[in-house]
Chains A and B, each alone.
Chain A
Amino acid sequence: MNERFEIPGQLKTISLACLGIGAVTLIAGIVSLLMGHSTDLDRTRFWLTLLHDSVFFTLITTVSVFVQAASTLAHGGWIVAYRRVPEAIGANVWVFGTIAALVMFCIVFMYGVGPDHHNPIYEWVKPGNDPILKGKSAFLNKGIFVLFTVAAVGLWSFFGRKFRAMSIAQESAPKGDTKIFWKVFRLSGVFLIVYALTQMSTIPWLWIMSIQAHWFSTMFSWYSFASAFVSGWSLILLWVIYLKNQGNLQLVTKEHLHDLGKFMFAFSIFWTYLWFSQYMLIWYANIPDETTYFKLRQHGPYSIIFYSNLVINFAMPILILMSTPSKRNYFTLTFMAMVIIFGHWLDFFQMFMPGPLGANWHINWFEIGMFVGFAGLLITVVSRTLTKSSLVPSNNLLLKESMMHLS
């Protein structure tokens, strides 16, 4: 059995090319800002794009840690056949988390425009005389922001690396030894609490929702979690299919792929449910404080993204992934995973951009180049981590269950 993964030359070339595109885009972006023709909007767009991509990639990689914790607590055995993939993605949360934290700290502490040096992205940094921002300043301030950001990124990275380390330690444990299993079990419980208090509540408030600090929604964290979760699953699925095409992961059968596809399908519907719950209540109540968010997106310059978001993330998954054969087909699964990742990248795009940029949004060489760059970084670090250990957790207690899995 082909247990070890060696990075094929093609993948190395692609990932380096993507990284190169990202680096060139970043440098070109900085140069074009320094050339002197740039406006405040250009600078805001530069920072927002960095923020959008780094936060998106941090959240979708953290999903892998959550997936491991949740399936461990549920005694889910079927994941074991491809468990090295979420482990490898989760072990690299720190890369994207660090970048995201750095970008955010730059924005919060260093960025400002205009004579009063106000912050166009995180308005709450300098609330001025705004009564609403002042009222929220007990939570929306630099101290809390730094505290939660450092704690969240630190804990996610720690658990991501810890789960992988313990899974590898299980390999050298005596056969049938349950000590590490129960240790992972307890830690998974702790991680779920951490995750609930960060990704599922406070972190989207601070990182994303506070971009339009006057507006708030109680659904927002769940909605952005669902968005990240379904794209995180798609990311795992893409890696599983890639490794299987390379001749690795021979324990993964169509039954596993079918269930991964079911997750992608089900959580696309879950995302739609949360998206609609947020939208419908605001639409129905029609309170001007709340409708500003959707007015800008639905009727303004973002309407094309608003509607394509629904088509890509709801209509396409429900129609294409509904039937059983399409969830057992490599092509439709790969295609839909890519579509879903792109769709939720767009979804995050319309969370970040409208507030600070208004009508001046672009999806242009800079946005696409940065996305490609981050994707290249992800491919590079995850493939490197994958080579470092056997892809078959042969001493895992639930391996047999995973081999017998029927969807």
Chain B
Amino acid sequence: MAIKKFAVAAYKDEEVLFSAVKKVRKSGYKLHDVFTPFAVHGLDKAVGHKDTDLHIAGFIYGICGTSTAVSFISWVYTVDWLQNYGGKPHFALPAWVPISFELTVLFAAVGMVLTFCYLNQIMPGVKKHVFHQRQSDDMFVVVLELNAHSNEQEVLKFLKATGADETNVQVAESGWWYGRFDKKEPYELANA
């Protein structure tokens, strides 16, 4: 993943955060991400996230679960291992419905959790840069992505003007990567 420069602004107040996010989006700066200690209602719309397509993935996983269940059970009971259960037909569809349903739910649930983790770049062992220590405690953190032409001072001034309580510029990995938590990357040492 590419190493990039970021401008970080931390806010103490949720109300200020909303207007700040609006101003950032209006200004044309590239919004990298917003970190909050809890789910803030309406923030996804304010940040400009589109509606997720996760449920379409869920539907596909569900269909996979149903077809896995039905094809496996029907193969077992009509081809591979015919048994007589209480005089029922070998192709006993009503009896399979609960299992097919459970497998549909299982596939959809597990598949959606994994997809969710992938989309949000969270997995066991994944290392992510923490922009502000209090972003999971009591502060709301807005991160802008800078490029080679950015005027850092101007950006920080702008962020201060939106009501930020703390601002700074950091160098970090832009995406996600596997790594050890205790190992300091060179750019982290540079930040410190």
Q: Are A276 and B97 neighbours in the complex by a CB distance under 8 Å?
A: yes
B residues contacting the other copy or chain, number (CB 8 A): 9
A185 interface residue per 8 A CB criterion: no
Q: Are A286 and B97 neighbours in the complex by a CB distance under 8 Å?
A: no
Tell me which residues across on chain B come within 8 A of A284, comparing CB atoms. 86, 88, 94-95
Q: Are A280 and B59 neighbours in the complex by a CB distance under 8 Å?
A: no
- Tell me which residues from 29 to 77 in chain B have a Cβ below 8 Å from any Cβ of chain A: 51, 59
Tell me which residues across on chain B come within 8 A of A283, comparing CB atoms. 94
Tell me which residues across on chain A come within 8 A of B59, comparing CB atoms. 322
Binary contact track A317-344/B, C-beta < 8 Å → 1, others 0 = 0000010100000000000000000000
Closest partner residue, chain A, to B51 (CB atom): A324
Closest partner residue, chain A, to B56 (CB atom): A323
Bound complex: CA A322 to CA B56 (Å) = 10
Tell me which residues across on chain A come within 8 A of B97, comparing CB atoms. 276, 280
Bound complex: CA A280 to CA B96 (Å) = 10
- Tell me which residues from 265 to 294 in chain A have a Cβ below 8 Å from any Cβ of chain B: 276, 279-280, 283-284, 286
Bound complex: CA A286 to CA B94 (Å) = 13
B28 interface residue per 8 A CB criterion: no
Q: Are B94 and A280 neighbours in the complex by a CB distance under 8 Å?
A: yes
- Tell me which residues from 61 to 119 in chain B have a Cβ below 8 Å from any Cβ of chain A: 86-88, 94-95, 97-98
Q: Are A279 and B94 neighbours in the complex by a CB distance under 8 Å?
A: yes
Bound complex: CA A279 to CA B95 (Å) = 11
Tell me which residues across on chain B come within 8 A of A279, comparing CB atoms. 94
By secondary structure, the A interface counts as helix
Bound complex: CA A324 to CA B88 (Å) = 40
Nearest Cβ on chain A to B40's Cβ, whole angstroms:
14
Q: Are B87 and A286 neighbours in the complex by a CB distance under 8 Å?
A: yes
- Interface residues on chain A, size class: under 10
Bound complex: CA A280 to CA B59 (Å) = 25
Bound complex: CA A276 to CA B93 (Å) = 12
Tell me which residues across on chain B come within 8 A of A322, comparing CB atoms. 59
Nearest Cβ on chain A to B82's Cβ, whole angstroms:
19
Bound complex: CA A283 to CA B85 (Å) = 13
Q: Are B86 and A286 neighbours in the complex by a CB distance under 8 Å?
A: yes
Nearest Cβ on chain A to B91's Cβ, whole angstroms:
13
Nearest Cβ on chain B to A86's Cβ, whole angstroms:
28
Closest partner residue, chain B, to A286 (CB atom): B86
Tell me which residues across on chain B come within 8 A of A324, comparing CB atoms. 51
Closest partner residue, chain A, to B45 (CB atom): A406
Tell me which residues across on chain A come within 8 A of B87, comparing CB atoms. 286
Nearest Cβ on chain B to A304's Cβ, whole angstroms:
19
Closest partner residue, chain A, to B55 (CB atom): A324
Bound complex: CA A160 to CA B97 (Å) = 39
Closest partner residue, chain B, to A284 (CB atom): B95
Best-buried of B59, B87, B94, B98 by chain A (most CB within 10 Å): B94
Bound complex: CA A39 to CA B95 (Å) = 42
Closest partner residue, chain A, to B42 (CB atom): A406
Nearest Cβ on chain B to A280's Cβ, whole angstroms:
5
Tell me which residues across on chain A come within 8 A of B51, comparing CB atoms. 324
Bound complex: CA A284 to CA B87 (Å) = 10
Q: Are B95 and A280 neighbours in the complex by a CB distance under 8 Å?
A: yes
Closest partner residue, chain A, to B95 (CB atom): A284
Bound complex: CA A279 to CA B87 (Å) = 17
Tell me which residues across on chain A come within 8 A of B94, comparing CB atoms. 276, 279-280, 283-284
A to B CB contacts below 8 Å, 17 in the list: A276-B94, A276-B97, A279-B94, A280-B94, A280-B95, A280-B97, A280-B98, A283-B94, A284-B86, A284-B88, A284-B94, A284-B95, A286-B86, A286-B87, A286-B88, A322-B59, A324-B51
Contacts A276-B94, A279-B94, A324-B51 known; list 14 others, CB within 8 Å.
Answer: A276-B97, A280-B94, A280-B95, A280-B97, A280-B98, A283-B94, A284-B86, A284-B88, A284-B94, A284-B95, A286-B86, A286-B87, A286-B88, A322-B59
Question: Which residues does B use to contact A, with CB under 8 Å?
Answer: 51, 59, 86-88, 94-95, 97-98
Instruction: Please list the 8 inter-chain residue pairs (A to B) with the smallest Cβ-Cβ separation, ordered nearest first.
Output: A280-B94, A283-B94, A284-B95, A276-B97, A286-B86, A280-B97, A279-B94, A284-B94
